Amino acid sequence: MKKIFSGSTLKIVAMFFMVIDHLGQVVLKNGIILNAPYSMFTDEQFSDLMSAVNICHILGRISFPIFCFLLVEGFLHTHSLKKYFFNLGLFAIISEPIYDLACTGNVFSLQQQNVLFTLLLGLIVIATIRKFHEKGIISLVIVAIGASLSYIFNFDGWYYGIALISIFYLLHDMRMMKYGMSILAMFVCGLDFTINGLFDPYFLTSVFSLVFISLYNGNRGIKMKYLFYIFYPLHLLILFLVSILLIKTL
C-alpha cells in the first residue's frame, strides 16, 4: 500500500476528527441538549440529537491515536527536546481555562484536564524511558507510573494515552507488533472485555485510526509547527461561543 500521508497531513486529519468530537460535546450536548426547554423537541427529535452526539464522539475517536503517534514522531525527530517540553507545557496551561469553560461552563474546574497535559506526560514518560536505555522492567515501571499519574490528575485520555504513546515509541520499528499492541490497548482500555467490546463502534473507529497511521510516509510535510498548539484552544473557544449564541436563541 502506497504511503501517502505526511506528518502535516496526518495532523490535519486528526484535527478534523477532533473538531467533530468537540462539536458534539460542546455545541450539541452542552449547548443544545442540556439547555433546550423540554417542550422544544419531540422525543424522536431529542433521540436524534443524542444519536448525533454519539456519532460525533465515535468519529472523534480517530483523532487521539494519531496525535499520540505524531507526538512520538516529533520526539524522535526534534532538534530541541527542551523546546518541545516547553511548548507543550505552555499551551497546556494556556488551553486549560478555555477547555474548562467549553466542557463545564466554568473557567476553573478540576473535573478533567486537557489533552495537552496527557501528551506532555506521555513525552516525559518516553524521554525517561530513553534515558534508561529502554530497559524492559524499568520501562514498564515508568509507563505504569505515568499511567497512574494521568488517572490521578484526570488528564483527558487517562492511561489510554500513556499506553499508546509508550507502545508507539517502544515498538516504533516493529510494525505489526506495534499495531497489534495498540489494538490490544484500545480494547483493554475500553473496559468491555466481552465479545460486544470487539464490535463497539468507539473501539472500531479507534482501530481505524491505525489505517491513517499506516499510510504515514515519514515526511514532515508542510511546516505547521505551532498550528495545533494555537488551533487547540482556539477551536474550543469558538465552539463555546457558538454554544452560548445557540443557548440565547433557545
179-184's contacts with Cβ under 8 Å and 24+ in sequence apart are 179/210, 179/214, 182/65, 182/210, 183/207, 183/210
Confidence bin at 2 (pLDDT 50/70/90)? confident
User: Is residue 113 classed as helix, strand or coil in its secondary structure?
Assistant: strand
Provide Rg for the chain, Cα atoms.
19
Confidence bin at 114 (pLDDT 50/70/90)? very high
> Which residues lie closer than 8 Å to 216 by C-beta, 6 or more apart?
3, 5, 6, 7, 10, 69, 73
What's the confidence (pLDDT) of residue 247? 86
Residue 14's nearest CA partner among 148, 119, 147 is: 119
pLDDT tens-digit series, residues 3-22 = 889 999 999 999 999 999 99
CA distance linking residue 52 with residue 62, whole number of Å:
16
CA distance linking residue 237 with residue 99, whole number of Å:
8
Is the predicted pLDDT of residue 148 greater than 90, yes or no? yes
Is the predicted pLDDT of residue 250 greater than 80, yes or no? no
Residue 210's nearest CA partner among 180, 189, 236, 231 is: 180
pTM tops 0.85: yes
